[in-house]
């Protein structure tokens, strides 16, 4: 607090530069002490996990907004003014460009602040602003930096400068950390969906929701609307209610994912940008000529990339809005001739169009080399729909290598989520999948809640009428692979480290 009081004493002064020896500069010595203590103290969490608001591990009190903004619920940008003392280096203006290439590490980097400014006392000189947590004396420069200074005949003497910070100079996480209640968790995340920032605010953040929405828009170029989800995705059409916190009411948006363009009304359909990697993973499993049945297709993130691989796609969604935008996006990405679109309940789609096509694809007399894949991305309920495969087909079974491959998504809160999903699927199908399924961890949805994808071939004994279960044949399926607890744990750790 003593340091902050000393720094705040500059707030009513005019900006000025003072040449000083480092031994006489108490402020810079204090900055050096702060730098050391910051290395030993892990900073508290920040609000967003998105790349544009990445945590600055070396953030400190010097560059936090003034303390009087704590508890602010209506954004007042003028209240964020603050004056701090930073080190500067005086150089001849003609060598600035050459010198800056060598001082990238040492130069100050703050939003909206020029690193090089005019010297108010000498028009032939310039002042290079330095990072006070890296440079506080000439001894703080690295050997290569000192060598460059010597070559360019620059005196490494440090001066101090009174810098006024405003709202524009603070980062999003710094503002929210200063405004929200001290001691409470301010960590949260948001998803970017075109021009929309989609937040999931916690209860203690709700009194500040409009301020948070405005700061989101201010600090993220291209974001013009901030919304908060106010219920879970538990309705028939998989969309959720949302509240516009700040900005445009327009929910019509355009996103680019894996080089494909999708347009839709975000308030009426389901879209999750965190599933981009999963969409690519499944797409890579299919080869040209394969057939895909997308049971819960949404606006097309699986169907369209697969169709682009010259595969035949049957895509379905119960939500009329998703159906509309699915057809639109197929045309937009020029795959409408390769995708057959349906607007049916998932069970009706399986027992109708899927059954009819499988009867054609799996005829014993029909020779084919392509595979049939079925994607069921409805994690909350997809496993329930697996019962539709029981005795779905009549006639003589096809060879085991031609049986459809299912990719079924689910949530699990179990301590062993992979085993939990296997058991759930096995209970619905009436057969064990221990030896012939693969479970992939998609992402961590919430504390102790995982989203997973189980992949397996539908056993002939399940798919065809009047068949008996033969475990030996079942275990010899091409997808025979059991994920050990150790392997699954390693994958979970890897995903956590990438989040």
pLDDT at 48: 31
List binding-site positions for S-adenosyl-L-methionine. Answer: 279, 317-318, 345-346, 377
Question: What is the pTM (predicted TM-score) of this model?
Answer: 0.76
Q: What is the pLDDT along the chain (499 residues), one digit of tens a residue?
A: 343 333 343 333 333 343 333 333 444 444 444 444 444 333 333 333 333 333 333 445 788 999 999 999 999 999 999 999 999 999 999 999 999 999 999 999 999 999 999 999 999 999 999 999 999 888 999 999 999 999 999 999 999 999 999 999 999 999 999 999 988 877 657 899 999 999 989 888 999 999 999 999 999 999 999 999 886 655 566 566 889 999 999 999 999 999 999 999 999 999 999 999 999 999 999 999 999 999 999 999 999 999 999 999 999 999 999 999 999 999 999 999 999 999 999 999 999 999 999 999 888 766 777 899 999 999 999 999 999 999 999 988 888 889 999 999 999 999 999 999 999 999 999 999 888 899 999 999 988 999 999 999 999 999 998 765 544 444 433 343 444 445 555 555 555 555 4
**Are the CB atoms for 88 and 59 separated by under 8 Å?**
no
pLDDT at 3: 39
pLDDT at 376: 98
pLDDT at 400: 86
pLDDT at 183: 81
pLDDT at 241: 82
């Amino acid at each position: 607090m003593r340091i902050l009081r000393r720094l705040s004493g500059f707030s009513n002064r005019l900006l000025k530069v003072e040449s000083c020896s480092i031994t006489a500069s108490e402020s810079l010595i204090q900055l050096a002490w702060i730098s050391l203590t910051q290395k030993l103290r892990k900073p508290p969490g920040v609000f967003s996990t998105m790349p544009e608001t990445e945590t600055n591990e070396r953030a400190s009190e010097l560059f936090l907004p003034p303390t009087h903004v704590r508890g602010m619920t209506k954004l007042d940008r003028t209240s964020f003014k603050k004056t701090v003392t930073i080190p500067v280096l005086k150089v001849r203006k003609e060598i600035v460009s050459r010198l800056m290439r060598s001082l990238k590490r040492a130069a100050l980097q703050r939003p909206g602040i020029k690193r090089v400014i005019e010297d108010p006392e000498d028009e032939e000189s310039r002042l290079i602003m330095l990072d006070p947590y890296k440079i506080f004396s000439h001894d703080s420069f690295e050997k290569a930096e000192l060598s460059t200074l010597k070559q360019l005949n620059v005196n490494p003497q440090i001066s101090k400068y009174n810098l006024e910070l405003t709202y524009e100079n603070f980062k999003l996480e710094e503002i929210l950390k200063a405004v929200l209640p001290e001691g409470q968790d301010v960590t949260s995340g948001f998803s970017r969906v075109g021009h929309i920032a989609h937040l999931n605010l916690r209860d203690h953040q709700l009194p500040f929701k409009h301020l948070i929405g405005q700061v989101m828009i201010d600090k993220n170029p291209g974001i013009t609307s901030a919304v908060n989800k106010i219920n879970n995705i538990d309705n028939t059409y998989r969309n959720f209610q949302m509240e516009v916190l700040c900005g445009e009411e327009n929910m019509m948006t355009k996103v680019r994912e894996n080089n494909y363009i999708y347009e839709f009304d975000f308030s009426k359909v389901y879209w999750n940008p965190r599933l981009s990697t999963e969409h690519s993973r499944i797409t890579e499993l299919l080869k040209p000529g394969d057939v895909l049945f997308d049971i819960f297709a949404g606006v097309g993130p699986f169907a369209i990339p697969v169709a682009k691989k010259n595969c035949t796609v049957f895509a379905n969604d119960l939500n009329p809005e998703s159906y509309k935008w699915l057809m639109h996006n197929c045309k937009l990405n020029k795959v409408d001739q390769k995708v057959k679109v349906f607007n049916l309940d998932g069970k009706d789609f399986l027992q109708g169009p899927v059954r009819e096509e499988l009867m054609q694809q799996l005829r014993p007399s029909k020779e084919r080399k392509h595979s049939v894949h079925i994607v069921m991305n409805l994690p909350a309920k997809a496993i329930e729909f697996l019962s539709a495969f029981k005795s779905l087909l009549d006639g003589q079974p096809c060879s085991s290598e031609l049986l459809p491959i299912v990719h079924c998504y689910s949530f699990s809160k179990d301590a062993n989520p992979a085993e939990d999903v296997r058991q759930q699927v096995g209970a619905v199908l009436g057969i064990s999948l221990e030896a012939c399924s693969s479970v992939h961890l998609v992402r961590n949805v919430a504390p102790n809640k995982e989203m997973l994808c189980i992949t397996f071939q539908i056993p002939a004994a399940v798919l065809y009428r009047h068949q008996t279960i033969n475990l030996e044949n079942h275990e010899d399926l091409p997808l025979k692979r059991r994920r050990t607890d150790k392997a699954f744990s390693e994958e979970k750790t890897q995903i956590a480290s990438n989040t």
